[in-house]
């Protein structure tokens, strides 16, 4: 069991699903003492679900999910069935990242408060990585799921993923008082506002690079654009980067900075 104690009231259990998408594996968080809320039970791995139940020791009362991608939510269904517990979260219709069917018992909304006997968690709607993505805030800890990861860049896959919404959600979470970011993948981030600003700057720098290459070409298709814009990432990651590039291009079209003829993109000057 890979358990990390984050604070008196928070423990982290990392699932054994490390990889390109998932870094060291999906983090499952347990919040509370007398009563526990679980954030993101992760993939449906029987040993991970058993570990959660062992650590929970009969005290788990709620299951919260950040979004419904396969590395975050399928374990919720198993844990819910096993323990008869409600799942809090939100459903989406349009994902390309293979969401699995899941029963949501309590649909959360922006600023919903999820109350337990010894703790209270706020849901914060953060569309961008996925339209149904929520972060959760408890006592200065922001559980960011895939909105912000440690050590890897978040993939924005249209149409459910949306770059403008992603950037807006990053700006929006700065309104909240955050001491530490607890991501869905990787370690705690102790300089939250710097991290958020760096994430926004990274995306805008990439957008500038897209604009630069559009400027250099009268028109260009996405396959030709991809290795130019992402010349700094491993070619293994290009299929994932293609999603984010498409998201950047959609944003440029929405902002009247580029056009698309069905095959090729051009800059509007
Ligand atoms: Zn995800």
With a cut of 70, say whether residue 99 has pLDDT above it.
no
Position 113 confidence tier, pLDDT thresholds 50, 70, 90: very high
Instruction: Please state the domain extents for the chain.
Output: 3-190, 206-267
Topology adopted by domain 206-267: Arc Repressor Mutant, subunit A (1.10.10)
With a cut of 70, say whether residue 266 has pLDDT above it.
yes
Find the 70 Cα to ligand 1 centroid distance in Å. Answer: 8
Give the pLDDT of residue 153. Answer: 86
Find the 50 Cα to ligand 1 centroid distance in Å. Answer: 23
| CB of 103 closer than 8 Å to CB of 80 | yes
pLDDT digits (tens, 9 = 90+) for 144-181: 999 999 988 899 999 999 999 999 999 999 999 999 99
Find the 234 Cα to ligand 1 centroid distance in Å. Answer: 20
With a cut of 90, say whether residue 91 has pLDDT above it.
no
Tokens 């293994």 -> residue: 236
Position 102 confidence tier, pLDDT thresholds 50, 70, 90: confident
Find the 71 Cα to ligand 1 centroid distance in Å. Answer: 7
CATH label, 3-190, candidates 2.60.40.3140, 3.60.15.10, 3.40.50.1820, 3.40.50.1000: 3.60.15.10
Give the pTM. 0.95
Percent of the chain's residues with pLDDT above 70: 97
């Amino acid at each position: 069991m890979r358990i990390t104690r984050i604070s008196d009231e928070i423990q982290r259990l990392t699932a054994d699903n490390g990889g390109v998408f998932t870094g060291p594996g999906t983090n499952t968080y347990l919040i509370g003492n007398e009563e526990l809320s679980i954030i993101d039970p992760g993939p449906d791995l029987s040993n991970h679900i058993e570990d959660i139940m062992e650590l929970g020791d009969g005290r788990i009362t709620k299951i919260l999910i950040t979004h419904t991608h396969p590395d975050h939510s399928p374990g919720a269904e198993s844990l819910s069935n096993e323990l008869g517990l409600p799942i809090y979260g939100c459903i989406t219709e349009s994902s390309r990242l293979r969401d699995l069917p899941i029963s949501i018992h309590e649909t959360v909304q922006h600023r919903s408060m999820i109350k337990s006997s010894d703790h209270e968690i706020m849901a914060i709607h953060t569309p961008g990585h996925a339209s149904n993505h929520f972060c959760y805030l408890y006592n200065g800890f922001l559980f960011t799921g895939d909105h912000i990861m440690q050590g890897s860049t978040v993939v924005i896959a249209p149409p459910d993923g949306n770059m403008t919404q992603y950037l807006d959600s990053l700006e929006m979470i700065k309104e909240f008082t955050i001491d530490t970011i607890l991501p869905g993948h990787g370690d705690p981030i102790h300089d939250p506002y710097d991290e958020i600003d760096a994430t926004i700057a990274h995306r805008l720098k990439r957008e500038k690079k897209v604009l630069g290459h559009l400027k250099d070409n009268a028109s260009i298709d996405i396959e030709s654009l991809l290795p130019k814009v992402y010349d700094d990432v491993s070619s293994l990651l290009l299929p994932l980067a293609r999603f984010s590039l498409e998201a950047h291009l959609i944003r440029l079209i929405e902002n009247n900075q580029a056009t698309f003829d069905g095959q090729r993109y051009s800059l509007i000057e």
